[in-house]
Chain A
Amino acid sequence: MTATTQSEARPSSGTPPRPGRRAELSRWWNARSRPQQWGLLVPVAAIIYLLPVLNPPILTTEPATSFPIALFNAAVFALIAIGLNVVIGQAGLLDLGYVGFFAIGAYTAALLSSPDSELGVRFPWLVIVPIAMVVTMISGVILGTPTLRLRGDYLAIVTLGFGEIVRLLADNIDPLRGNRGFQDIARPGGTYSDGTPIFTQNDAQGFYWLAVTIVIIVLLFMGNLERSRVGRAWIAVREDEDAAELTGVPTYRFKIWAFAIGAAVGGLSGTLFAAQVGFVNNQRFDVTTSILYLAAVVLGGQGNKIGVVVGAFLVSYIPDRFQFEPEYRFLVFGLALIILMIFRPQGILGMRQHLLTYGRQAYQKLFGAGTGVAPTSLTPSSRPTGEPAEAVPDDRSGSRPQGGGE
């Protein structure tokens, strides 16, 4: 028997609307073996890396915006969206102050490497990155500790306030230099074989490659978390916090973790951004930017890490490609938020994630190899409601004595 032949969704099942083509694709994908999947992913990755070199005429944003810079910005945006997705998409916590973490990351880079900084140190970029991630992580914990005990909708307002406070601090605390900002922030080192540096402000190609690499690494790590008790705890909290707690999930602790991890990724993206631009001041961390991040996550599909990367790419790239005025960018994505929530709340790609490290093997063991059962709830066999699958007549006699729980 192969389950694929009879895997039509049962009428009783509440599968998402129109399981059609996407489910087909997803099932087909899940039926591939790991090497096959990698075999398909590697060329895709190669094309992504080669984009700035190919500079395809349909895709290019030039002459208005340098294509590598547009791509770099999109990649940073994708990184931000991945981080925010942990908080919003997975743990279901509406964080509207996410730009604050991005800002903290950027300012940490500035303070630790700019000659304008009063600290007087010039750390290399590679040293800055872990420091900035730790700093943002700590700020995430500090913000989360009081607020994550609150009801979800209060959280939205408090985090909105947090984002604004970070900006106010940048405005008002003298060593943070307000509008004057910090020049000459450290870049990663490295030169091409002919001696020209890879990472410069004018040529973002190197930065783009770096950003894509970081995105891929972070995605792999997020996948690990997703397919672990951590990811399951987040989804459980999102689905039903009380039931999660009463199934033994330390909900508060995992919510703080979601905040901290999201914050660290936000901080990482901040350092990346600061390094490429080489300059940080208080003008870039408007709370409205947080709303664009939210739009990226919602557009791509909350809880789907590939989806949010796609969403982020669209939110960042489309205005560059079609040269929107910045105002229209906000207007369009504001409208997109409303329309999406009303007509397609799951975003471009649905909400489905895999939550088990060995889920594939488990399902294949149950249903047989090559079935590719998993996310779309396509399983063989159907039986009338409520009747036990196996006959259980002599079941009790065969089992253990009372109280044998060791």
Chain B
Amino acid sequence: MTAPEEGLLEAVEQMAPEERAEHEAEVAEKVAADREISVSTGETLLAVQNLTVRFGGLTALDDVSFDVKRGEILGLIGPNGAGKTTCFNIVTGVYRPTEGDIRLEDQSLARMKRYKIIQAGVARTFQNIRLFGAMTALENVVVGTDARHRTSVPGALLRLPRHRREEREAVDKAMALLEFVGIADRAADKATSLPYGDQRRLEIARALATEPKLLCLDEPAAGFSAIEKDALSELILKIRDDGFTVVLVEHDMRVVLGVTDRLVVLDFGRKIADGVPDEVRRDPAVVSAYLGTAVEE
């Protein structure tokens, strides 16, 4: 597609607008997950059922239930310590529920090994960025694609055909992902040398590389400027439009109200509201939980 002498990045720079739109559609096509999902759009993808989590005497989550529908962007909000990140940690197997269950499609995640949960289709980013610092951006993303790879150790040792095919596809996909999140020019940089905002994007790309059915973003806008937040909101919408379902934990109400289709509000480990953003922000329980401060835009 591109002449070998000139890099892809440069080629994209020089594209005419229609050409570029076509290229971006191509990239989005490559990024989209290639996996079967048994439920159709708008139906329940993830069901959190009567989830209770206790740490010693502390109840972090108390009988919380909610659904995530396929194709939506669900905002999980609440004041500090409400149990939002705990929720993510339960879904991705970092902690185990004391009571209750989490089901992805028809599979219970409650006792599944952590890497299996990821392979089953839940991916996440971290509040405090956790990239593999010694790897380049591209390599970080390829680690994500490995979640869907089946090359065995002997296969890699002897470079058997499946290994070569998977490697080729992985690099291709990872490059598309970097373009998709907008940091392709950083592909060869060490992850730790990326600017902060790009590191957040890289985490998203790495999570998307596992081809998740459900993408959990844990405070992706933390530490962002207003411009960066807008760009991030666009990216989140773009991700959804590419066929992913997103759960978003976020403090910034502008981002939350800008992108989410539905909100679940937690307070002290209990669910206090669940509904479309406009309803929820008028809900008296929510207003009192936030003391009427943060819900305003």
Contacts and interface: CB of A to CB of B under 8 A. Distances in A.
Interface residues of B, number: 104
B66 interface: no
Given A361-B171, A380-B185, 17 more contacts: A14-B190, A14-B193, A224-B158, A229-B166, A239-B135, A247-B210, A249-B115, A250-B115, A257-B153, A356-B170, A362-B172, A367-B9, A371-B7, A379-B188, A380-B7, A396-B237, A399-B241
B178 to A, nearest CB: 8
A244 interface: yes
B138 A1 contact: no
Given A257-B153, A385-B198, A243 B183 contact: no
Contacts of B29: 400
A388 interface: yes
A57 interface: no
Given A224-B156, A403-B71, A386 B227 contact: yes
Nearest to B159: A224
Q: Among the interface residues B114, B166, B188, B189, which one has the most CB atoms of the partner chain A within 10 A?
A: B188
A404 interface: yes
Interface of B: 2, 4-10, 12, 20-22, 24-25, 28-29, 32-37, 40-42, 70-71, 92-94, 113-115, 118-119, 123-124, 126, 130-136, 138-139, 142-144, 146-149, 151, 153, 156-159, 163-164, 166-168, 170-172, 174-175, 179, 182-190, 192-198, 206-207, 210, 213, 224-225, 227-228, 231, 234, 237-238, 240-244
30 contacts: A13-B194, A15-B193, A221-B157, A225-B156, A230-B153, A232-B146, A243-B132, A244-B143, A246-B115, A246-B124, A247-B207, A248-B115, A249-B146, A355-B139, A356-B171, A366-B8, A368-B5, A374-B188, A380-B9, A380-B185, A383-B185, A388-B231, A390-B182, A398-B24, A398-B25, A398-B28, A400-B241, A402-B71, A402-B240, A403-B243
B160 to A, nearest CB: 10
A405 B32 contact: yes
A32 B226 CA distance: 44
Contact of B242 (A248, A257, A364, A399): A399
A396 B238 contact: yes
Contacts of B243: 400, 402-406
B183 A389 contact: yes
A213 interface: no
Contacts of A14: 190, 192-193
Q: Among the interface residues B171, B192, B196, B240, which one has the most CB atoms of the partner chain A within 10 A?
A: B171
Interface of A: 1, 3, 12-15, 221, 224-225, 227-233, 235-236, 238-240, 242-251, 257, 261, 303, 351-352, 355-359, 361-371, 373-375, 377-381, 383, 385-390, 392, 394-396, 398-406
Nearest to B33: A405
A396 B40 CA distance: 21
A395 B147 CA distance: 28
Contacts of A363: 138, 187-188
